[in-house]
């Protein structure tokens, strides 16, 4: 256990009316199987924008956001083994029951009682956050807080690629030049795709794609008539999904990984799916890929580092989400003054 510390802390809070404020609140009390983490970096993603602007399934308002994060363990529950004070960790935000049919099938992201950190329970946009020890993974300090916080979206990418039924030797198209899309393109190359093309309407994102080793990066109208064996829709945009389904090769796969509004609908031609024997597959969150992502991040660190192109103090959360919503940055992160 740590020495006595202040009993209150600051935290960012999103209220039911979607307003943002910085509050003074009680520090989390950890259970026997939890650790207390002092965050050092926390990413903002599309889920956070949904929580802020529209609502997101499972959100427990008022909520402290922040589910992509890394930090240092400052307190350890009495039953925890394998972690100690001072350890540097990245955290899988998906807190599961471990006993429902989906958990038993190895699909924890579909847990019937899923309570994600930063959505259903307090997140990392705070001085401290309580996390289950089993969700907290040791990371080399040399990786840095920013890249360690990107292990969560990388785990989501690994799940999406596994869901695609295989990309080795195949032609791959990725819609979306944000962190999810770029990480998907980078890992697709790493996993042996024959060809990888990234499409995004923002010229700046295409330039960054080229700089991190994705040579074919184009605006969606310039895609032409080529078909692709695997298409990842990582933009979370209706126009991207509508275009994506028309570019899937016969017997190919469309993987829906971008987060759309809960009630959004997209028209499609069912005959095209039938005639071309297409597969449309959803890929939700990171499933069981977090441990693998810890290792893969070390392999792609130099390519992934430039994706962190916007950083704000955690207490400027409103400015950070405003910048991200403009769609011109790759990965916006919050930093903490420790």
- Fold of the CATH domain 8-149+289-335: Quinone Oxidoreductase; Chain A, domain 1 (3.90.180)
**Per-residue pLDDT at 338:** 55
pLDDT per residue as tens digits for the range 282-332:
999 999 999 999 999 999 999 999 999 889 999 999 999 988 888 788 999
**Per-residue pLDDT at 1:** 44
Q: What residues does each domain of the chain span?
A: 8-149+289-335, 157-282
- According to CATH, the superfamily of the domain at 157-282 is NAD(P)-binding Rossmann-like Domain (3.40.50.720)
**Per-residue pLDDT at 2:** 44
Give 261's pLDDT tier (boundaries 50, 70, 90): confident
Q: What is the 3-state secondary structure (H, E, C) of the chain?
A: CCCCCCCEEEEEEECCCCCEEEEEEECCCCCCCEEEEEEEEEEECHHHHHHHHCCCCCCCCCECCCCEEEEEEEEECCCCCCCCCCCEEEECCCCCCCCCHHHHCCCHHHCCCCCCECCCECCCCECCEEEEHHHEEECCHHHCHHHHHCHHHHHHHHHHHHHCCCCCCCEEEEECCCHHHHHHHHHHHHCCCCEEEEECCCHHHHHHHHHCCCCEEECHHHCCCCCEEEEEECCCCHHHHHHHHHHEEEEEEEEECCCCCCCCCCCCCHHHHHHHCCEEEECCCCCCCHHHHHHHHHHHHHHHHHHEEEEEEHHHHHHHHHHHHCCCCCEEEEECCC
pLDDT per residue as tens digits for the range 180-230:
999 999 999 999 999 999 999 999 999 999 999 999 999 999 999 899 999
Question: What's the mean per-residue pLDDT of the chain?
Answer: 94
């Amino acid at each position: 256990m740590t020495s006595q510390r202040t009993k209150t802390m600051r935290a960012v809070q999103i209220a039911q009316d979607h307003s943002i404020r910085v509050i003074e609140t009680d520090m989390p009390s950890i259970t026997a199987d939890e650790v207390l983490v002092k965050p050092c970096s926390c990413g903002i993603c599309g889920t956070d924008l949904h929580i802020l602007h529209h609502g997101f399934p499972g959100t427990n308002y008022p909520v402290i956001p922040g589910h992509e994060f890394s930090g240092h363990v400052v307190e350890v529950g009495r039953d925890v083994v394998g972690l100690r004070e001072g350890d540097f960790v990245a955290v899988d935000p998906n807190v599961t029951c471990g006993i429902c049919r989906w958990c038993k099938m190895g699909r924890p992201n579909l847990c019937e009682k899923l309570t994600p950190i930063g959505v259903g329970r307090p997140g990392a946009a705070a001085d401290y956050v309580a996390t289950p020890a089993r969700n907290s993974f040791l990371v080399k300090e040399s990786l840095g807080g920013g890249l360690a916080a990107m292990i969560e979206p990388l785990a989501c990418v690994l799940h999406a690629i596994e869901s695609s039924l295989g990309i080795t030797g195949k032609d791959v198209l990725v819609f979306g030049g944000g962190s999810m899309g770029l990480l998907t393109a980078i890992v697709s190359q790493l996993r042996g795709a024959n060809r990888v093309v990234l499409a995004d309407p923002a010229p700046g994102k295409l330039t960054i794609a080229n700089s991190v080793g994705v040579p074919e990066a184009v605006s969606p109208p310039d895609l032409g008539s080529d078909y692709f064996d695997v298409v990842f829709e990582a933009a979370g945009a209706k126009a991207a999904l509508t275009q994506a389904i028309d570019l899937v090769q016969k017997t190919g796969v469309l993987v829906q990984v971008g987060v759309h509004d809960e009630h959004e609908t997209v028209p499609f031609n069912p005959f095209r799916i039938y005639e071309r024997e297409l597969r449309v597959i959803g890929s939700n969150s990171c499933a069981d890929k977090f441990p693998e992502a810890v290792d893969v991040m070390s392999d792609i660190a130099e390519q992934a580092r430039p994706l962190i192109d916007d950083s704000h103090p955690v207490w400027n959360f409103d400015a950070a989400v405003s910048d991200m919503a403009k769609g011109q940055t790759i990965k916006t992160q919050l930093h903490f003054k420790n």
